[in-house]
Structure 1
């Protein structure tokens, strides 16, 4: 079966590596509190940029938000004379709140995510009893991408790959030779994402990872998280497709689909829920917007009790 979206992404990476297309500049920002890596990727010729997977600081005990992490992105953009056109989300994160709306106010740009966010909104809209006021059509976002879509970061072509399995809406963004893979895969010594959230599927995750690993081996792979594998002292969140193929402890070459599904299913049973999953999902399914204030002027997040 032909995979035109993947074939086009492979061609884009190959041409970039060969010097036939411009190579993007990527700057990473790591938030140790949520183990999240955010990125600014830009075209050095036009100085146009995209921000990927930004973080809004949130203290759950105090119920307070802050913008220290996002301000580092603003400072970098302004110090380097960049213009932001895109605020990209690889998926609706369950471990941190998105700072995309705040960054949009500071820097501009369109907020984008995968079109399958509507499935996430439907499931969690019911869980949080959001009622009819909460739109489940993705309209909170400025752009909904589908597999094979293209967009530009300045003069650099970017392509979208739908890589579900961790959640139904996961995307990877291929910007020149840089691949922003979200939570689908981690550093080779740590493995792969969980697949037990609503709409997740270990078999689908395996196929999505194999699709990503069909990209050229020199493709730069930028990951959304790192947790320091045992024996490693530093956080690392950049690798290559070739390194993942050869060394990933869960999906290196030779690991079969059934073997992976068994491993992932058993491993996921041992994992607790992310610390910020309840606030994160409520905010991120709204494109990072906080709930509207109630009559007293205060915004509230819900905590389901004994939900089924």
Structure 2
């Protein structure tokens, strides 16, 4: 994978949700894209704030970037996207409004969670400016970017190939973390295996920028934004070279069966399937669970 122009890459770690956000800039035009932005949410007070997103805007202003795209790798279950907020803040200061973009299979996720959370259909229509086809190419200034379909963690998951870099989202984690869960609706451990091995087929020097990092104590280092294909092939604790697909799939399914749901799942997905917009009435639904006889009482209306 070679190209005459390599991007300037800003890596911004959001520690509350352990999310990597990226600003990818063309060095010749100063056009740029933002990948997997975070909108802050405090579940103890049900408060949304923009401190993290505003730090991205400050970086954009500092470097005098023009943001052409606000990119999502998938509909996140562990953080709220700041995409719509960023678009609203950036649009008045630019000659053209940035486009919020995600893979075309977001419609599957919207259908699933729109029904679960009783989202009015009109609040899911045209909330993304562009839905990517597999392998679609687009420009960030003079940079050519390509969309890679990388399913498994979620059915809509994509990555972005820009220069000698892949922004993988949650399709692979750093070698000492391994892989992401596959138990969300439409998730598939076999598909994730295929996606990770697709990444392994790239040239060894290609950098893989991941969507999260959860540094284990034994690492002895801070968060890592990327490793190389070579590093992943040799050291990924779940899928390094020599690992069998059946072995990985069996382990991943067993592991996922014991995991609790992400802390922000119910809030994040209601916002994220709307492309970062709030519900029309400003209210979110919160599923309530009960145990034993309490379940029947809740369902019958006796409680």
The answer to whether the Cα contact below 8 Å between 2:123 and 2:280 also exists between their aligned partners in 1 is no
Deviation of 1:133 (Å): 3.7
Deviation of 1:219 (Å): 1.1
| 1:179 partnered with 2:162 | no
| 1:284 partnered with 2:272 | yes
CA RMSD of aligned residues (A): 1.5
Q: Which residue of 2 aligns with 1:114?
A: 103
Structure 1 pair 82/132, CA: closer, same or farther in 2 (3 Å)?
Answer: closer
| 1:263 partnered with 2:251 | yes
The answer to whether the Cα contact below 8 Å between 1:125 and 1:134 also exists between their aligned partners in 2 is no
Q: Which residue of 2 aligns with 1:102?
A: 85
| 1:93 partnered with 2:80 | no
Instruction: Give unpaired runs (5+ residues) of structure 1.
Output: 1-13, 294-298
Point out the structure with max Rg over C-alpha: 2
Taking the aligned partners of 2:121 and 2:241, their CA distance within structure 1 comes to 47
Would you identify which runs of 4 or more consecutive aligned residues in structure 1 move more than 6 Å? none
Deviation of 1:230 (Å): 3.8
The answer to whether the Cα contact below 8 Å between 1:115 and 1:146 also exists between their aligned partners in 2 is yes
| 1:129 partnered with 2:118 | yes
| 1:160 partnered with 2:143 | no
Structure 1 pair 270/237, CA: closer, same or farther in 2 (3 Å)?
Answer: farther
Deviation of 1:159 (Å): 0.5
Deviations 1:37-78 (CA, angstroms, capped at 9, x unpaired): 100001111111000000001111211111111111111111
Match of 2:212 among 225, 232, 236: 225
Deviation of 1:131 (Å): 4.2
Deviations 1:168-216 (CA, angstroms, capped at 9, x unpaired): 0000100111211001111101100100001100001100111122111
Instruction: Give unpaired runs (5+ residues) of structure 2.
Output: 92-97, 296-303
Match of 2:260 among 265, 272, 278: 272
Taking the aligned partners of 1:107 and 1:305, their CA distance within structure 2 comes to 38
